Amino acid sequence: MANQEFFLGIDCGTQGTKAIILDALSGEVLGLGAAPHTMISGANGRREQDASQWLEAFAIATRRALLAADVDGQAIVGIGVSGQQHGLVLLDEQGQVLRPAKLWCDTETSAENDRLLKHLGDEKGSLERLGVVIAPGYTVSKLLWTKEQHPTVFARIARILLPHDYLNFWLTGRSCSEYGDASGTGYFNVRTRQWDLQLLRDIDPSGRLQAAVPELIDAHAAVGTILPAIAEQLGINPKALVSSGGGDNMMGAIGTGNIQPGAITMSLGSSGTVYAYADQPTVSPDASVATFCSSSGGWLPLICTMNLTNATGVIRELFDLDIECFNALVAQAPIGAEGVCVLPFLNGERVPALPHATGSVLGLTMTNLTRANLCRAVVEGTTFGLRYGLDLLRQNGLQSRSICLIGGGSKSPQWRQIVADIMNTPVICTEQSEAAALGAAIQAAWCKSWANGHEDSLADLCERCVQLDLASETLPIAENVVASQQAYERYQQHVANL
């Protein structure tokens, strides 16, 4: 095994860090490891994490993956990092973290986002200037919030990093960012692929923020070699190359082979996302469609809902159900849950754009208030949000023959059928459900190949390493499609009433 080359893919998410070991030659995933994170939450919408937890989880997940793969860490020649998007990590001159990282699901800065949006000339102005409409949760409002709420912290800012940029900085000592993850900051122009430094000067005329943004690099470029001390701590090869990495959606696209037009990836994670590759930055006039850059050299028009398995999880906890019991109850209830409709906006919502909304259960009667109906209604409600988003992407010219499903929810056959029926499109899963970690490992292999003079294209690597799970393929059923459409129209009516 001495001459074999393996790649480590890391996905640092909201709930935990996942690590996978990939043999890029055979395309085989050899081992998986994971470690959990905890969240700092407040009733005012605060959602933060201590960045030191990520480093600890990174090391634990890596060790577990190496152990599961039965691979010597010295055989790891490349590392790729996927991270939750939009999070804000602030460092001082010494490279120390100044305060807990504000996350994508943090809505404490909604008021600052509203003011910044007004400053940009509302949705139209934001689209014209940046190619995206800044939303609560994007990084830019977190900067304004820090300046106003924590002036002493603000005065010490030397580096502004996204979660995956911070992990790359820890690994290599180099501060940089790639276009995909940078697209979600709100101070990046997705058409020109440049920072909008003027917007940062508007927030802070002293120029401190402008000086703190990382250098931008191409997706195929390596950040650098791992630092010797970190290599030793992780037990891996000190010559390992660290790739540009990217946001979890960008890495999920690579991990599902979604690197050319025509494919759609739908992620059923804590949040729900739907995205597709584009080779041009065709910016949708609809504010809900984020035309981010991809981490494979193109663009990735994307919609994101703030509530998915976090909403189904709350119902599961309420009834004290494990996944099997929950899925069985979902299957028991009819399509449309006998009129019970859950608007699952527990975190506020981005698509449809209702940042201040709360969750609600509608249509209850003496006869339909059952556990089964509530379980089904929460799955349908979260999936209707994704249908709304898919329709927006389709209006923007997106073609799709099938949908590739990833994320925790995709493991449920019941949920797969509900998605196929509501979208009226066949769905299939990849064999590797940790698509973001896989994408990060594939990108690391691509960076290594680029450094070696291009022996493999990204398409070659995806072809080898991304396998579809044929057993998971689920086709829409004609009568279910009709019933699902009726339930969807009822959902839309309830949303309109909000």
Question: Which residues carry out catalysis?
Answer: 248
430: β partners: 468
* Tokens 């939009």, residue located: 86
3-class DSSP assignment, residue 118: helix
| Ordered DSSP codes for 125-184 | HHHHHHSS---TTSHHHHHHHHHHH-HHHHTT--EEE-HHHHHHHHHHS--EEEHHHHTT
- Encoded tokens for 97: 């973290």
Residue with tokens 């001390």: 229
Residue reference for tokens 């499609």: 481
**How far, in Å, are 44, 92, 113, 199, 211 from residue 152 at the CA level?**
22, 12, 21, 21, 18
Instruction: HSE, CB side, 13 Å, CA atoms: give it for residue 401.
Output: 4
Residue entry with tokens 């970690």: 437
Rounded CA-CA distance 102/108 in Å is: 9
Rg (CA), the chain: 22
User: Rounded to an integer, what distance in angstroms lies between the CA atom of residue 14 and that of residue 347?
Assistant: 14
Contact at 8 Å (CB) between 420 and 268?
A: no
**Distance (Å) of CA 495 to CA 311, 442, 481:** 17, 40, 21
